[in-house]
Amino acid sequence: MTFCDWDWRPAVLFNTSSAFAMLKPNGPWVSVDALDVWATAGVMSEEDWRSKFEEEFGPLDLSKIPGPIPSNSSRACPSRPAHPHIR
């Protein structure tokens, strides 16, 4: 599981197979486009992720993510390729 800042919203990414985000404060976790999260979100430590989002979004209870957490969730996400215009 990877903790992400996806367009200023908390998100979690499970490899590139699935991702969930809280789209509004105190809202439910919803399934979002995993490849979009992988390609555009900033990766954070869990501690930084909670510190950044819990005041605005409320408790980030991962047990409320709908459905089973993918079995490959314990593995880190593959690294994103470097942006071609950044050296």
2: nearest Cα among 65, 46, 54: 46
Structure tokens at 84: 């071609």
| DSSP for the chain, written as a single string | -EEEEETTEEEEEETTTEEEEE-STT--EEEE-HHHHHHHPEEE-HHHHHHHHHHHH----GGGSSSPPPTTTTSPPPPPPPPTT--
* Domain extents in the chain: 2-63
pTM, rounded to two decimals: 0.78
> CA triplet 45, 46, 48: central angle to 5 degrees?
65
Do residues 1 and 13 touch, judged by C-beta distance below 8 A? yes
Query: Which pLDDT tens digits describe the chain residue by residue (87 residues)?
Result: 999 999 999 999 997 789 999 999 999 999 999 999 999 999 999 999 999 999 999 999 999 998 766 554 443 444 444 434 433
